[in-house]
Amino acid sequence: MDIDTIIKDELIEATRRGYSFYQNIINNKFQPSILEINCKDLVDYDNSGKGEYDLPESLKISFFRGLDKLLLDNEEKSLTNKKPCLYFLKFDAGLAESILAKYRNYRSIDNLRNKSSLKPNPNIDTNILYVGKVLSNVGARLSTHFGYASPKVGGLQLKHWARDMELKLKIHLIIFHEDIGNFINPLELEFTRLLKPLIGNSK
């Protein structure tokens, strides 16, 4: 089989997979949910010697227990979920400029942690903090954003700058119940284009 035929066959098959996934979205085969957190609850916690995403017990109870209920099927025994997910973080209207100032200051003084990027001219006419996606384990990704993962892993690092603001966030989740691979990427781009988040450099 020549290379042109292989490429053509793969292109057709990839298109079929994508069509099947997007058709499921049209048919409402996804789960939108909202969780809330006050960043004042992102307490200091030494997880040295523990798992990479180990969390303080108070946060497991106040936030991640609710997340587990959304993500776990009845037959699942593990707290590790494998469901792809789009998410965005929303704050109260009118706070964008103060949040941006606080985050810029934090970025200028903390050289230890890998932080989410900023555009040269962030959109301050928004109440969306960030838009993201994961192919699996959204809990671990949120742990990173909260500031509890390895400093090398990029994220919002909320514990280190938003806690003393007592910043309240609504975390909107769109959970898919099948393996969708990279077909989730265009959806993240569309959400970013639509919502124009304050933080993040996706176009």
Whole-angstrom Cα distance, residue 14 to residue 72? Answer: 29
Q: Which residues have C-beta within 8 Å of that of residue 42, sequence separation ≥ 6? A: 59, 146, 147, 158, 159, 162, 163
Rg (CA), the chain: 19
Q: What is the pTM of this model?
A: 0.82
197 CB-contact burial (10 Å; exposed 0-12 / middle 13-18 / buried 19+): buried
CA 203 to chain centre: 16
* pLDDT category of residue 75 using cuts at 50, 70 and 90: very low
Amino acid type, 37? I
Task: Look at residue 76 in the predicted model and tell me its pLDDT.
Answer: 47
Q: List the beta strands (DSSP E) in 55-196.
A: 85-90, 128-134, 168-176
Task: Look at residue 61 in the predicted model and tell me its pLDDT.
Answer: 74
- Res. 138: pLDDT tops 60: yes
Sorted by where each begins, the domain ranges of the chain are 30-195
Bridge partners of 23?
Answer: none
For 119-135, give one letter per residue: b (16+ CB within 10 A) or e: eeebeeebbbbbbbbbb
For the ranges 72-86, 151-165, 174-188, which has the lowest average pLDDT? 72-86
DSSP element (H, E) containing 106 = helix 96-109
The encoded tokens of residue 7 equal 């490429």
φ/ψ region of 43 (left if φ > 0, alpha if ψ in -120 to 50, else beta) reads beta
Q: Which residues have C-beta within 8 Å of that of residue 196, sequence separation ≥ 6? A: 123, 125, 126, 128
Q: Say what the alpha-carbon torsion angle 38, 136, 140, 197 is, to the nearest 10 degrees.
A: -40
Task: Look at residue 81 in the predicted model and tell me its pLDDT.
Answer: 66
For 139-158, give one letter per residue: b (16+ CB within 10 A) or e: bbbbbbbbbbbeeebebbbb
- Res. 79: pLDDT tops 60: no
Task: Look at residue 77 in the predicted model and tell me its pLDDT.
Answer: 41
